[in-house]
Amino acid sequence: MMNDYSDIVRKLFGESTAITGIRPVSGGDINEAFLLSLSDGSRIFLKENTEKNAGFFKAEMTGLSAIRKTGAIQVPEVREAGVIHGRSYLMMEYLEVAPAKKDYWEHFGRQLAGMHKADPSEFTPGGKYGFFEDNYIGAGRQINEIRDSWIDFFRDCRLEVQFLRAQNYFDASGRKAMQKLLDHLDRFLIEPSSPSLLHGDLWSGNFVTGPDGYACLIDPAVYAGHYEADLAMTELFGGFAPAFYGAYKEVNGSLPGYPDRREIYNLYHLLNHLNLFGSGYYGAVMRIIRRLV
């Protein structure tokens, strides 16, 4: 394996640089992950998958680059992505984890709010909703077709896509209730004043503490949408520290009715989990739908 990446390392770090060690590490999720030690003393985080899944890494590289361009919050630097010997790979900066600073959560909240206030029009023509290419939410394909309206985008490219994939889990009554929610989504969601660049999959497993002691975002599923969708995801699996939300609101405010909209935004992720992991998520999906319609 070391020989497989030797030429790539020399291209990136200089002809005299060699791989001196490689070992498996955690953090790959659906991929295999390794730590590469180099002769110049630096280290590289390497993820591998099958050749047919090379799109995962292309999308991740694009998403991290988009977040980096906002200048609001740190992400690991991507070094290289491609296919070699029938395996797709992604090489990126290895983050040396440091102790979290005392104001970690306040800093994180302010930085995420800053990212949400950045102009995402580079990634969607005309300042609309979506992204210039599709990507992935976990192992599921995420459709990012451009829409003029946030509500139309969230209906067409988020809820309806996942609902159609999950048809076999729904009985007739469940399908009717879900369709009613889709047909009347404008009763529940609101249009933002402008789109925000979203991480797209912002739960506790998709940020780490960087070498400066502050949050660093990883594994994005980016698109331009309503910032509330990112905030809702932070609350789906237990929530972040209260200081995070307080600092966020100081920068980007909050809108009346968010708790109800939060349920709809997280319905997307629960439907995705239903499609990826099976019927254990059906009850949570239906509780939200029944409560709303």
Token duo for residue 184: 């009347």
Across 256-275, average pLDDT: 96
Residue type, 198: L
Across 40-45, average pLDDT: 93
Opening angle at CA 27, ends 209 and 231, nearest 5: 55
| β-bridge mates for residue 147, sequence order | 129
Question: For 139-183, how does the pLDDT look when each residue is reduced to its tens digit (9 = 90+)?
Answer: 999 999 999 999 999 999 999 999 999 999 999 999 999 999 999
Helix (H) or strand (E) holding 163, with range, is helix 160-165
- CA distances in angstroms from 87 to 45, 211, 236, listed in the order given: 16, 30, 34
| β-bridge mates for residue 50, sequence order | 87
Q: Respond yes or no: is residue 201 known to be catalytic.
A: yes
With H, G, I as helix, E, B as strand and everything else as coil, classify residue 289.
helix
Q: What is the pLDDT of residue 99?
A: 93
Contact 121, 196 (CB under 8 A): no
Q: Model pTM greater than 0.85? A: yes
- Catalytic member of 201, 212, 219, 230: 201
Average pLDDT, the chain: 94
Give 103: exposed, middle or buried? Use CB within 10 Å, 0-12, 13-18, 19+: middle
| β-bridge mates for residue 140, sequence order | 137
Q: What is the pLDDT of residue 194?
A: 94
Q: Which domains does the chain have, with CATH numbers?
A: 2-93 (3.30.200.20), 104-292 (3.90.1200.10)
Where does the pLDDT of residue 72 fall: very low under 50, low under 70, confident under 90, or very high at 90 and above? very high
pLDDT exceeds 60 at position 92 = yes
Q: What is the pLDDT of residue 97?
A: 84
